[in-house]
Structure 1
Amino acid sequence: MIGNPFAVLDRVDSTNNYAMARVNEGPVTDGATWFAMEQTAGKGQRGRQWHSAPGENIMLTTVLQPALALHQQFMLSVAIALGAYDLFSKYAGDEARIKWSNDIYWRDRKAGGILIENVLRGNIWQYAIAGIGININTPHFPENLANPVSLRQITGKTWDSVALAHELCACLQRRYSHLQAGSYQPLLQEYKNCMIRFNEPALYRKNGEIFTGVIRDVLPDGRLCLEKGNEMLQLGFGEVEFVFAK
């Protein structure tokens, strides 16, 4: 069960680093989760850092042993993104969305992100180290951040981040159980239903060019099908940038 055991760390460089160290030391229980009150070097996608004041937000990592083939890695990302979306949309409302590939958005502002690091033994996917950061109580963000938002800014309320983290684990477990049961297509369809900009014209940047495109599909391997004029692009992670108004 995700969140069993659940440990709260006062201060750590990164919950993903901490979890990876535990895996490297020996066997780790499937679903073991670590929540950090403070991270000194939180990790985001593509080498970015995740910043948060102590105790304000959800910063956790869960260790999973997915019984999946390596080519199904994106489906785990789908399940984790849906679990995070389930929690956030419950309190932020129906303007919450998933941004491909696995960010949590509210309107056009980023509320959370997911970083999954894998431990492989030959062709065996031994562990997935799934880190999740969600902005809960941050009242103001640094001006250099492009478009962040917190649950507090949306609702005007302060929240118990540890209690919400436990609730997040329950949301993740529900989606993970569907994945383990082989419900790949329903999960992928629901993921697309929750996506920001799906079947809507919007601006994107690729190789320095800004253009109008329409997301038409997401393939089981994670590639984004983006319609550009009369062309259908199939794009991998990092190959296209969503352009948002400042």
Structure 2
Amino acid sequence: MVGHPFYTLDEIDSTNNYAMEQVNSGQVTSGTAWFTSNQTAGKGTRGKQWLARPGDIIALSIALQPAMLPLSRQFMLSMAVALATHDFLSAYAGDETIIKWPNDIYWRDRKAGGILIENVLRGSMWHYAIIGIGLNINQGKFPDALTNAVSLKQITGKNWDAASLAKDLCRHLDNRIKQLHVSAIDTLLSEYKTKLFRWQQPALYRKDGEIFQGIIRDILPDGHLCLERDGTILQLGFGEVEFILTH
């Protein structure tokens, strides 16, 4: 069960760092979760930092043994976690909640949170996945540099108890991870596409310093984005293309 046990940390540099230490110590069972609303050096994708005041965020990490999947199917876990986080946030923020490829969580065209999954390998075996989820909960405003961030408080006008929400997020994660099996990839991929930001819509992107108009046409089972540009399909991996926001 995801979230059993569930540990609350008063303050930590990064829940993913802490979870990794616990896994490496050998004292962890699959499904263990660590939560804080006071993370001092949170990690985002591609080395970015993610910081907030105490009480403003959910920072949640889960140690999972993904025995149901081979390492070659790790994008399935990414999709399942993104869908679970979408399930969770949409229950509070409504049906304008969407997933920005590969696994950022958006409300309309603004970022509500993100996901970072780090793998622990033993040889070629996928020993553990450290699933890190960060969500903006109680921020009333953001620094000027974060022009497209949004919090659940800004969406709903309410303050929330981050720890209670984190436990509910674990419930949604458990439901989705129970669906994981190699044979379920088509079903999972189909649902993931229906929740995708800019799916089949013309929009602006940047690649190799050049801005162009493209249309997301498909997502491959390994996670590659199929982006149509001038009648040609580009297959792009994580970090190879930037979404240009125009608001």
Distance in 1 between residues matched to 2:104 and 2:184, nearest whole Å: 22
1:20 equivalent in structure 2:
20
1:139 equivalent in structure 2:
140
- Is 1:61 the equivalent of 2:61? yes
Distance in 2 between residues matched to 1:23 and 1:121, nearest whole Å: 12
- Is 1:213 the equivalent of 2:214? yes
1:150 equivalent in structure 2:
151
Give the superposed CA RMSD.
Answer: 1.0
- Counterpart residue type for residue 57 of structure 1: I
- 1:208–1:181 distance in 2 versus 1, CA, 3 Å: closer
Secondary structure in structure 2 of the residue aligned to 1:22: helix
Secondary structure in structure 2 of the residue aligned to 1:178: coil
2:170 equivalent in structure 1:
169
Distance in 1 between residues matched to 2:166 and 2:122, nearest whole Å: 30
**1:133-155 CA distance string (max 9 Å, x none):** 01111111001113100010011
1:90 equivalent in structure 2:
91
Q: Contact conserved, 2:38 with 2:57, CA < 8 A, in 1?
A: no
Please state how far the C-alpha of 1:182 moved relative to its aligned partner. Answer: 4.0
1:9 equivalent in structure 2:
9
- Counterpart residue type for residue 206 of structure 1: K
Moved over 6 A (4+): none
- Counterpart residue type for residue 38 of structure 1: N
2:236 equivalent in structure 1:
235
- Counterpart residue type for residue 185 of structure 2: Y
1:105 equivalent in structure 2:
106
1:32 equivalent in structure 2:
32
Q: TM-score, normalised by structure 2?
A: 0.98
Distance in 2 between residues matched to 1:86 and 1:3, nearest whole Å: 16
Please state how far the C-alpha of 1:188 moved relative to its aligned partner. Answer: 1.0
- 1:166–1:122 distance in 2 versus 1, CA, 3 Å: same
The alignment covers a number of residue pairs equal to 246
Question: Which consecutive residues of structure 2, in runs of 5 or more, have no partner in the other structure?
Answer: none
2:52 equivalent in structure 1:
52
Please state how far the C-alpha of 1:37 moved relative to its aligned partner. Answer: 2.6
**1:125-178 CA distance string (max 9 Å, x none):** 000000000111111100111310001001111111111101100001111000
- Counterpart residue type for residue 155 of structure 1: T
Secondary structure in structure 2 of the residue aligned to 1:179: coil
- Is 1:203 the equivalent of 2:204? yes
Q: TM-score, normalised by structure 1?
A: 0.98
